[in-house]
Structure 1
Amino acid sequence: MARTVRGARVLITGAASGMGRAYAERAVAEGAASVALWDRDGIGLARLVDELAPVAGRRTELRTDVVELGEMGAIAKHAQQVRKQLGGPDVLINNAGIVRGNRYFWETDNGDDTRATMRVNALAPMYVTREFLPGMIADAYREKRIVNIASAAGTLGNPRMAVYAASKAALIGWSDSLRVELEQADHTNVKVTTVTPSYISTGMFAGATGPVLAPVLEPDYVVDRVWRAMLRGEPLLELPGTVRLSRALRALLPTRVFDAVVGEGLGVYRSMQGFTGRR
């Protein structure tokens, strides 16, 4: 793919705030032909468009959809509307995600916590991608990109975020499997990038503390790294690099040794104790 998304059609979920907002700003700044912005926060989307419009001008067409990503029917409806107005995306960024509380699993609610988290974090990216992927494959002479924003939490267990960790582990497994499927089926114009960052200072994980060797990341740094990885079609981006080290240690060390050295010793297992999230 080119060094920018100039002239490309981009769709971003969870676009009204945080990292999604930053990806939208980057796409408009680089001259994307269109940017479709999906979020459940209609007011936030309207505010974002007001800020992006002067930069977008006539060069970039902006479209907003208030979408409840936990509902497959809503995803299908809005995907059809996007295809009709803008055409299928060249770049799809599955960024939307939620995290609930800092309680132990048995203290959580199956409906408000477990079901909602799994639907938005794990199922929604699958549903959204399934809506647009056939068109991406069919447009075989045009480079396409799918970016799935997972989490380092999906690579190892962590107290007080059991369901969140499970949802991101599911996302990682599906995302990398999809990448291999596309390669195996020779649909090499579509490349999938799986991103597994540690905590990012967007407010979503307010109160959480970065473990030793994995400080809380700055959004601008993450956006730049994700963007470059997406354009190059890199299969996996782990941020910071110590996420890869943790994965390697988890595979090499006996479970109890890992718990003591990494989980407790480096503070991973205590990182959510002060979590408050957005208020």
Structure 2
Amino acid sequence: MTRAIVTGGASGLGAATAARLSADGIDVVRVDLGGDCDVVLDITDDHAVEEARGRIGAVDILVNSAGIVGPNTPLVSTSSDQWRAVLGVNVVGTVAMMRAFVPGMVDRGWGRVVNIASMAGKDGNPNLSIYSASKAAVIGLTKSAGKELATTGVLVNAIAPAVIATPMNDDTAPDVLAHITSLIPMKRVGRAEEVAELIAWLASDRVSFSTGAVYDISGGRATY
């Protein structure tokens, strides 16, 4: 049976993705800091990630959905600690999971990695400089890893959603949420299950000649 691990799997895009993959008959391990998950794990802790890899064993699919938004504030008001916190989860944590689980995929000659970036990583959302920069980094590392692994049978792709109705956006300031929703030509926020459908496709055999790519799911917002 195909096995998948989904970080941030207790809620939001992670939970929707876990449910969608399970519907395809995939054995899904949901990882999160707590809540409705299978493995409690802080992905910023290298030792804990390595220990979890030993317990979970081999997986065929890795979906890096864990992420935090960070402060809604002008760049000049941010602190280095805030930058370290957001980059630690969104970038370093994603890398840690790839470092732990990709080698096994390479050994078996097949694997799919889907990293959750954001339209913010392409456009840069005002007053969300840390989040925007972190998601731009996810796009960059996806492109790099995709090239490194291109002949191994392991495909690495990213998705870049516009604003999606998830608990993560519950703490987004209403004016910021209104601004980023106004940029979407379809004039609505996305649904988690819509994003999960794209992830399920990218995690499957139906994708065979795409790696290091970024797939927008933005209601028409994306311009490049």
- Normalising by structure 1, we get a TM-score of 0.71
Corresponding residue for 1:44? Answer: 36
Corresponding residue for 2:129? Answer: 162
Corresponding residue for 2:66? Answer: 96
Correspondences of 1:67-106 after superposition (within 5 Å): 67-83=41-57, 88-106=58-76
Equivalent pairs, count: 210
Q: Secondary structure at the match of 1:228?
A: helix
Corresponding residue for 1:198? Answer: 162
Matched, 1:35 2:28: yes
Structure 2 gap segments, 5+ residues each: none
d(CA) in 1 for partners of 2:137 and 2:117? Answer: 9
Corresponding residue for 1:20? Answer: 14
- Normalising by structure 2, we get a TM-score of 0.87
Identity among equivalent positions (%) equals 31
Equivalent residue letter for 1:8: T
Equivalent residue letter for 1:160: N
Equivalent residue letter for 1:20: G
Matched, 1:227 2:200: yes
CA RMSD, 1 decimal: 1.7
2:216 to 238, 243, 262: 238
Q: Quick one: structure 1 residues 126 and 226, their matched pair in 2 at CA, closer, same or farther if it must change by over 3 Å?
A: same
Q: Secondary structure at the match of 2:168?
A: coil
2:97 to 108, 122, 128: 128
2:40 to 66, 81, 84: 66
- How far 1:117 moved relative to its partner? 0.4
- How far 1:203 moved relative to its partner? 2.6
Q: Is the 8 A contact 1:70 1:116 kept in 2?
A: no
Using CA pairs below 8 Å that are at least 6 residues apart, which structure has the higher relative contact order? 2
Structure 1 gap segments, 5+ residues each: 1-6, 46-63, 248-279
Q: Secondary structure at the match of 1:138?
A: helix
- How far 1:110 moved relative to its partner? 2.6
Matched, 1:11 2:22: no
Equivalent residue letter for 1:69: I
